[in-house]
Amino acid sequence: MSDKQPLSDHKVPQTEGKVCWQSPSNIAMIKYWGKRPVQIPINPSLSFVLDKSIVEITMVYTISPGDRFSLTSFTLNGAKNDAFSSRIEKFLGSLFSFFPFLEYTHIGIDSKSTFPHSAGIASSAAAFSALALCLCDIEAGLEGKEPSGDAFFRKASYIARLGSGSASRSVYNGMVVWGNTPLVADSSDDYAVRLADEQVHPLFSDICDSILIADSRTKKVSSSEGHALMHRHPFKEERIRQVSENMKSILAALKSGDFDHFGEIVENEALTLHGLMMSSRPGYILIHPNTILMLDKIRQFREETGTPAYFTLDAGPNIHLIYPHSFKAKVQDFMDDELARFCENGHRIDDSAGMGPVKMD
Stretch that binds a copy of itself, among 165-173, 179-187, 250-258, 291-299 (CB under 8 A): 291-299
Binding flag, residue 155, a copy of itself (CB under 8 A): no
Stretch that binds a copy of itself, among 61-69, 107-115, 222-230, 238-246 (CB under 8 A): 238-246
Closer of 154 and 302 to a copy of itself (Cβ): 302
Report the C-alpha gap between 62 and 138 in whole angstroms.
11
Binding flag, residue 268, a copy of itself (CB under 8 A): yes
Stretch that binds a copy of itself, among 42-50, 84-92, 138-146, 289-297 (CB under 8 A): 289-297
Nearest to 112 by CA among 123, 96, 103: 123
Closer of 147 and 317 to a copy of itself (Cβ): 317
Binding flag, residue 206, a copy of itself (CB under 8 A): no
Binding flag, residue 289, a copy of itself (CB under 8 A): yes
Entry field: residues in the chain: 361
Q: Smallest gap, in angstroms, from Cβ of residue 14 to a copy of itself?
A: 55
Tell me the CB-side half-sphere exposure of residue 62, using CA atoms within 13 A.
10
Closer of 178 and 311 to a copy of itself (Cβ): 311
Binding flag, residue 276, a copy of itself (CB under 8 A): yes
Binding flag, residue 131, a copy of itself (CB under 8 A): no
Binding flag, residue 235, a copy of itself (CB under 8 A): yes
Interaction pattern, residues 292-331, with a copy of itself; x per rule: CB under 8 A: xx-xx-----------------------------------
Contact set with a copy of itself (CB under 8 A)? 234-239, 241-242, 245, 264, 267-268, 271-272, 274-279, 281-285, 287-290, 292-293, 295-296
